[in-house]
Structure 1
Amino acid sequence: MLMPEENEELSGGETTVFASSAKAFDKSVRNLSNENFDHFFVGNSFFRNPWVSAPASTTARDGLGPLFNAVSCAGCHVNDGRGTPPAPGGVFESMLIRLSIPGQTEHGGPLGDPTYGNQLNNKHILGVKAEGNVALSYVEVAGKFDDGETYTLRKPVYTFKNLGYGAMSPQILFSPRVAPMIPGLGLLQAINEIDILAQADPNDINKDGVSGRPNYVWDVVKEKKTLGRFGWKANKPTLKQQVAGAFLGDMGITSPLFPNENCTSGQTNCQQAPNGGSPEISAENLDAVTAYNHLVAVPARRNWQDGEVLKGKALFRKIGCMTCHTPKFTTGTLRGFPELSGQVIRPYTDLLLHDMGDDLADNRPDFEATGNEWRTPPLWGIGLVQTVNGHTNFMHDGRARNLQEAILWHGGEGVKAKEAYMKLSKGDRQAVIKFLESL
């Protein structure tokens, strides 16, 4: 008889909250300390409330733009949850497009398009032109399970339109990204580096077809390359840099980490636009938003004792999914966050890069990540996305319409697990999905 592990429902250890409503992703960790109480709620305010263009009487929140994708963090991370692609022909809201051309910056990162930089901004303040828009459509791809049941997958097609500053480089590389979930990010920061690297097998020494690699990226505070943990390609080393990068790239707001406006040399009106001070978000408020991102809790699992869920978990392990989606870590000591330290957590990620095959490739290198590689996304909370965000679109670009399609898109290092899933009976496939829905 299959039995659950002790405390298996506590995905975030003592930080776990028992919530399953539409607000399940916006709770503070259950063991929030007195010293971080104010940081969480001040950071929450700056995360949720909209920024405005300068000059404005709202001096703490002016400086939006000149070019941007959203007016607030919550504009992409709705209810602290997961973004989704628009309907075909719709406007990108919680999804964006990264840009680069072949080559690297002096620190080894992607080299931005000379005209449009590192990200396409589809919104603008008065007096500045937007950079452009993207049209999204899909091509249906048919497939069949080993038992004869058929399915279709949707392959996205992107077309740039209404470009405001002329043509992009003929060598343009682009990568669509939906906004990831916020819960549990601080716990991922708290995992000891040695425990992440212990999962790596870049030369596939054990010959299992899986060769997870760490991404080493530029840390703007330490001024050296360090282990990447955050972002779809693990291209950010810390939550603070992730937050500051999003303020600049997504909202056009400068910070102590990134003090220069996000305008290229050819965008004269962007360069001349009024700003909200230098920097536009203060060090204190940036720290508050960063603390908030550390302290958003992971919800507890539901139905973890159910027989079908336990069967699905056993199958998830048997077919090889846990080779990359590592179930459990114990966090180390994270300075300033006693709540997150020494916790037994179940994120179902190794935080490493894996070649996911040509069908998922964006062909855009990002530091040491190749165009075929993606970081294993955490699975905790995935079963509540429909409740919180009203959709079940998964993968980095939201192409999968449900969890089963997400599995079927796996290629490269994930192809053996996918093929093993396709060989399962329909009942066993349903058990695997039921397990995922319990996370």
Structure 2
Amino acid sequence: MKKYIYLVLLGTFWSCSSETDDTSYTPLTDIRERELAGGATTVFSVTSFAFETPAPNLVGANLEMHLAGDAEFENTFVTAGSPTNPGLGPLFNNSNCVACHPRDGRPAFPTSLKAPSGLLYRISAGNSTSQGPLPVPGYGTQAQNQAVIGFQPEMEYTVQWSPVEERFADGTVVVLRKPVFSYRNEYAPIQQIEISPRIAPPVFGLGLLEAIPEAAILSRVDESDSDGDGISGKANYVVNPESGNLELGRFGWKANTSTLRVQTATAYHEDMGVTNELFAKDSPLDGFADDPEISPLVLKQVTLYSQTLGVPAARNLTDPKVQRGATLFNQLQCAACHTPKQETKTASISALANQTIWPYTDLLVHDMGPGLADGRADFLADGQEWKTRPLWGIGLTKVVNGHTNFLHDGRARNITEAILWHGGEGRLAKENFKKLSKTERDELLAFVNSL
């Protein structure tokens, strides 16, 4: 079990303005509010525990359930029929939650695509905007590249890299790496397949995102770009497999899941081959009559765990370099999609209700251009559209997870590369970023790393 570290809250207040030139900035005035990135759930840790501490305002039965969920999150499953933690597979991607979400953060791009890792392939044979991705016959909608003894994985993942050069106005050259993902050694012939490689995202702060009112998210939708700013985010509506209803998508790389309960149940079933009350039927290859393999209580515990992890506080916000970077963040239109501030309202967990939070996401999907396209539609999100990722905690990735790999497939090796991959609605921000001086780029990165 992890040790939980609670540190004393610090801070003063900040805000941002784009009405500055290259050599001046408007001092941020609401520093304390932005420091408290998760409101009362904020955790003041800059250690490797920064992502895996419970919200400090979590008490009583909810805290007990969080701690129980923590233990389950770390449990490693073994072959079905075992007396301890049975249910793995027979086909799977990984054997426990933390293997994909190390220290509740993001995994690095794997050194070997043959081994279990935080990378998986979502697959489909087309898409229905009302029903979602169409399963590949014999495979489903996720390709499992691991199997228990006696079974064959569905396929082996492969990747080829090619260089893509970007040049800043000052002559600095950055060589990006563009991946082309494919597969080999498939266990059965495939007639049609669309592949979307996905790296597992961090899991802290998710309950707060779930508690943002739907109306607040929809208020930022601008599919026709009526204000002419080049940003036209849209909502993705997805089927909740538990209710059968179309609901607003909030989670996943394409906002393709509506609730954390469904997200958790899907991860157990698809990533680990572990059945549960939402997905109670395993592969026909599974000869064990032990379904479902986790109890409703375990599903509830792990769901609550992901809902109630604390959010790391923002840091260094009084530093003039960071404050200048905040001004540039607005000037470059980064905040048009990475919406800084949100409010939660009612929530089933009282610790998450009525919080002012700073996640830097609008929870909408945006066209990010052909460079990042996976060509796989998911409900209303097309093959070039991705949900705006939250930026809170991003500057602690190196401390917690030992790397700085970003984007949906882990191709970016640092924040600069992630920005340079922006296209589509993010193209103007990227081009303006390339025009900045080295000093200004460093200031923008200082701000992003402060989050």
TM-score, with length taken from structure 1: 0.94
1:31 pairs, out of 39, 49, 57, with: 57
Give the aligned partner of residue 259 of structure 2. 238
2:249 pairs, out of 197, 205, 228, with: 228
What are the superposed Cα offsets for residues 282-315 of structure 1, whole Å, 9 maximum, x if unpaired?
Answer: 1111011100010111111121111101110110
1:430 pairs, out of 430, 439, 442, with: 442
Q: Provide the C-alpha distance between the structure 2 equivalents of 1:3 and 1:298, rounded to a whole number of angstroms.
A: 21
Question: Is this contact kept in 2: 1:202–1:212, CA < 8 A?
Answer: yes
2:318 pairs, out of 305, 310, 316, with: 305
Give the aligned partner of residue 12 of structure 2. none
Question: Is this contact kept in 2: 1:4–1:304, CA < 8 A?
Answer: no
- 1:151 match: secondary structure: strand
Q: Provide the C-alpha distance between the structure 1 equivalents of 2:111 and 2:103, rounded to a whole number of angstroms.
A: 20
Calculate the aligned-residue CA RMSD, in Å. 1.4
Q: Provide the C-alpha distance between the structure 2 equivalents of 1:16 and 1:436, rounded to a whole number of angstroms.
A: 18
Q: Provide the C-alpha distance between the structure 2 equivalents of 1:333 and 1:326, rounded to a whole number of angstroms.
A: 21
User: In structure 2, do the counterparts of structure 1 residues 72 and 92 end up closer, same or farther at CA, with 3 Å as the change threshold?
Assistant: closer
Residue 126 (structure 1) shift = 2.2
Give the aligned partner of residue 266 of structure 1. none
What are the superposed Cα offsets for residues 15-70 of structure 1, whole Å, 9 maximum, x if unpaired?
Answer: 00111111211100010121201110111111111011121212xx2111111011
Question: Is this contact kept in 1: 2:177–2:412, CA < 8 A?
Answer: yes
* Percent identity over paired residues: 46
What are the superposed Cα offsets for residues 369-415 of structure 1, whole Å, 9 maximum, x if unpaired?
Answer: 10110000000010011111111010000111100010000000000
Q: Provide the C-alpha distance between the structure 2 equivalents of 1:129 and 1:392, rounded to a whole number of angstroms.
A: 33
Out of 185-194 and 107-116, give the one that drifted further: 107-116
Return the letter of the residue paired with 2:438.
K
Q: How does 1:40-119 map to 2 (within 5 A)?
A: 40-58=66-84, 61-87=85-111, 91=115, 93-104=117-128, 108-119=131-142
Q: Provide the C-alpha distance between the structure 2 equivalents of 1:406 and 1:94, rounded to a whole number of angstroms.
A: 19
Gaps of 5+ in 2: 1-25
The answer to whether the aligner puts 1:323 opposite 2:323 as a matched pair is no
Return the letter of the residue paired with 2:260.
L
Q: Provide the C-alpha distance between the structure 2 equivalents of 1:370 and 1:158, rounded to a whole number of angstroms.
A: 18
- 2:433 match: secondary structure: helix
Out of 231-240 and 124-133, give the one that drifted further: 124-133
Residue 89 (structure 1) shift = 6.2
- 2:431 match: secondary structure: helix
Return the letter of the residue paired with 1:295.
T
The answer to whether the aligner puts 1:3 opposite 2:25 as a matched pair is no
Return the letter of the residue paired with 2:400.
V
Q: How does 1:247-326 map to 2 (within 5 A)?
A: 247-261=268-282, 263=283, 271-275=285-289, 277-326=290-339
- 1:7 match: secondary structure: helix
Residue 221 (structure 1) shift = 2.6
Out of 143-152 and 228-237, give the one that drifted further: 143-152
- 1:152 match: secondary structure: strand
Residue 243 (structure 1) shift = 0.3
User: In structure 2, do the counterparts of structure 1 residues 195 and 103 end up closer, same or farther at CA, with 3 Å as the change threshold?
Assistant: closer
User: In structure 2, do the counterparts of structure 1 residues 396 and 205 end up closer, same or farther at CA, with 3 Å as the change threshold?
Assistant: same
Gaps of 5+ in 1: 264-269
What are the superposed Cα offsets for residues 332-366 of structure 1, whole Å, 9 maximum, x if unpaired?
Answer: 1112x100000000000000010000110001010
Return the letter of the residue paired with 1:94.
G
Give the aligned partner of residue 219 of structure 1. 240
Give the aligned partner of residue 267 of structure 1. none
The answer to whether the aligner puts 1:184 opposite 2:205 as a matched pair is yes
- 1:130 match: secondary structure: coil
Aligned length: 425
Residue 3 (structure 1) shift = 2.6
Return the letter of the residue paired with 1:325.
H
Give the aligned partner of residue 161 of structure 1. 184
The answer to whether the aligner puts 1:20 opposite 2:46 as a matched pair is yes
Moved over 6 A (4+): none
Question: Is this contact kept in 1: 2:49–2:103, CA < 8 A?
Answer: yes
Question: Is this contact kept in 2: 1:212–1:354, CA < 8 A?
Answer: yes
Question: Is this contact kept in 2: 1:4–1:310, CA < 8 A?
Answer: no
TM-score, with length taken from structure 2: 0.92
User: In structure 2, do the counterparts of structure 1 residues 212 and 108 end up closer, same or farther at CA, with 3 Å as the change threshold?
Assistant: same
Q: Provide the C-alpha distance between the structure 2 equivalents of 1:89 and 1:238, rounded to a whole number of angstroms.
A: 29
Q: Provide the C-alpha distance between the structure 2 equivalents of 1:155 and 1:53, rounded to a whole number of angstroms.
A: 37
Q: Provide the C-alpha distance between the structure 2 equivalents of 1:54 and 1:363, rounded to a whole number of angstroms.
A: 36
Q: How does 1:357-396 map to 2 (within 5 A)?
A: 357-396=369-408
- 1:8 match: secondary structure: helix
Residue 88 (structure 1) shift = 6.5
Q: Provide the C-alpha distance between the structure 2 equivalents of 1:92 and 1:100, rounded to a whole number of angstroms.
A: 21
- 2:68 match: secondary structure: helix
User: In structure 2, do the counterparts of structure 1 residues 280 and 90 end up closer, same or farther at CA, with 3 Å as the change threshold?
Assistant: closer
